[in-house]
Amino acid sequence: MSKGKSGYEGPLERIDDVRWRIPKSYRADMRVDGMIFADDVMIETIRQDKAPEQVANVATLPGIQKASLAMPDIHWGYGFAIGGVAATDAEEGGVISPGGVGYDINCGVRLLRTNLTWDDAKPRIRALIEDLFATVPTGVGQSGRYKFGKPQIKELMEQGVQYVVDRGMGTARDVEFAEAGGRLAGADPDRVSDRALERGYDQCGTLGSGNHFLEVQVVDRILDEVAARVMGLVEGTIAVLIHSGSRGLGYQVCDDYLAKFADCSKKYGIELPDRQLMCAPLRSPEGLAYLAAMRAAANYAWCNRQLLTHQARESFGRVFEVPWESLGLELVYDVAHNIAKFEDHEVDGRRKEVCVHRKGATRAFPPGHPEIPALYQGIGQPVIIPGSMGTASWVLAGRPGSMLHTFGTSCHGAGRLMSRTAAVKLAEGRRIDKELDAIGIIAKARGHKGLAEEQPAAYKDVDQVVEVVDRAGISQKVARLRPVGVIKG
């Protein structure tokens, strides 16, 4: 099915002010309803894209539970819409679909807080951004200073963040405050191809390109004083947001398994409305192999963000001429948004284990959930929502409504409004870096094209996206962050 230009022409039934249903009666092959979270303004933009049709397509997957879900940052993706969520049950023939995870396995974000005030940092902000850009490798195919041979990279993919922390490039807190402790159990590096290992050899600790970034921000506004205090966020202080994933290794894992899944629908008698939804039963040899490889790539991604953190800390220490520890440069949280995980959820009044696909969607567990760190038990899991490099980012906390409505999930960002090609065309004759500088944001990138692709106009209004999930009771606003400097590929 091609994206097309006509948009979505099927039904969208209003449930309340932020939820819209695609009834399973829309198509004979749908097993459950589709559910999109959006307000009145956003739903009209969403209708202009074919992404709702992808929500309906996902509703056809064997073993899918409750509904095929989409967050307010929904837009067209490979197989699944970006912003898509689906839980499948192995006991009911449930499947795993690489398109429901994405090419960049465990692309995610982490937030660091500091004791630095904006007044302290402002005189050195340009020097800091220059140093970060010189220190952190950015751009397509860029190699980094950390090299891992085949035995080492396999160990890293099995152990996750603990592997690099044990080598002096992090702290115990960095392990504790990463989703899943920075490691998915059940990873099997032997399920990862040699080509993927080659691509990952020198890319751990590199930012990459596209929408990946390292951003220096100011805590602009506190909306939940209690939660902000627990997270260590203080109005007027500096924070750092890092957005990257599993780099070429994860991309190769996805590519490899899409090829291996090509005949699975025929083999297992699965009818698919879109070939990009190719999948395999969770308990099939193919499904188990992909899950093991996906987990290994996810662990690599957590190590990548940890090494990016280590380099950022070194940069801060150099520029401010003190040990980074004295700056309070601590991890608030690290959360994945391209992943599939087995979790316990209530479905039709019964507790069961399901495989939750989150593609461009972020976990948002509520207060008291056993999988979040002890420090956050009373407030809920931190949920980190980056905007575009010219707009705000948000920190939220998971709420009980996420377990009721979305398998413990929230949105993951602003969501694209236009393709990268369209964004580049819109930027013709302009200098996005100069425009950002004029509003007080220093932007560094390998070339003008990367900044053009990621210009603020290419994205939805992140404040509006966050308002939807807050009103839905999925996650609650804690703090707003405004950018003052960003490096990109």
Q: What is this structure's pTM?
A: 0.96
Candidates 91, 21, 70; CA nearest to 355 is 91
pLDDT at 231: 98
- Residues 33, 58: Cα–Cα separation, whole Å: 10
In a domain, 453, yes or no: no
Question: Could you list the pLDDT tens digit for every one of the 489 residues in the chain?
Answer: 334 457 999 999 999 999 999 999 999 999 999 999 999 999 999 999 999 999 999 999 999 999 999 999 999 999 999 999 999 999 999 999 999 999 999 999 999 999 999 999 999 999 999 999 999 999 887 788 999 999 999 999 999 999 999 999 999 999 999 999 999 999 999 999 999 999 999 999 999 988 899 999 999 999 999 999 999 999 999 999 999 999 999 999 999 999 999 999 999 999 999 999 999 999 999 999 999 999 999 999 999 999 999 999 999 999 999 999 999 999 999 999 999 999 999 999 999 999 999 999 999 999 999 999 999 999 999 999 998 878 899 999 999 999 999 999 999 998 777 788 888 888 888 888 888 888 899 999 887 777 888 887 878 789 999 999 999 999 999 999 999 999 997
In a domain, 117, yes or no: yes
- Three-state SS annotation for 380-412: CCEEEECCCCCCCEEEEEECHHHHHHCCCEECC
In a domain, 451, yes or no: no
Domain span at residue 292 reads 13-417+459-488
Burial class of residue 9 in the structure, from the number of CB atoms within 10 Å of its CB (0-12 exposed, 13-18 middle, 19+ buried): exposed
CATH assignment of the domain containing 24: 3.90.1860.10
- Beta carbons within 8 Å of 478's beta carbon, 6+ residues apart: 222, 223, 224, 227, 228, 231, 233, 382, 394, 395, 396, 397
In a domain, 4, yes or no: no
Residue 478 has φ and ψ, to the nearest 5°, of -115, -50
How far from 62 is each of 96, 271, 324, CA to CA, in Å? 9, 9, 50
Share of the chain above pLDDT 90, in %: 86
In a domain, 1, yes or no: no
pLDDT at 4: 43
pLDDT in tens, 289-322: 999 999 999 999 999 999 999 999 999 999 999 9
Candidates 64, 66, 67; CA nearest to 94 is 64
Candidates 424, 415, 454, 464; CA nearest to 75 is 415
In a domain, 195, yes or no: yes
- Residues 70, 50: Cα–Cα separation, whole Å: 13
In a domain, 8, yes or no: no
Number of structural domains (the chain) is 1
As annotated, the active-site residues are 412
* Structure-block tokens of residue 151: 């035995």
pLDDT at 416: 76
- Residues 112, 175: Cα–Cα separation, whole Å: 13
pLDDT at 418: 79
The type of residue at 81 is: A
- How do 442-444 and 475-488 pair as beta strands? parallel
pLDDT in tens, 88-111: 999 999 999 999 999 999 999 999
Residues in the chain: 489
pLDDT at 196: 98
- Residues 50, 54: Cα–Cα separation, whole Å: 7
Per DSSP, the three-state class of 237 is strand
In a domain, 449, yes or no: no
pLDDT at 239: 98
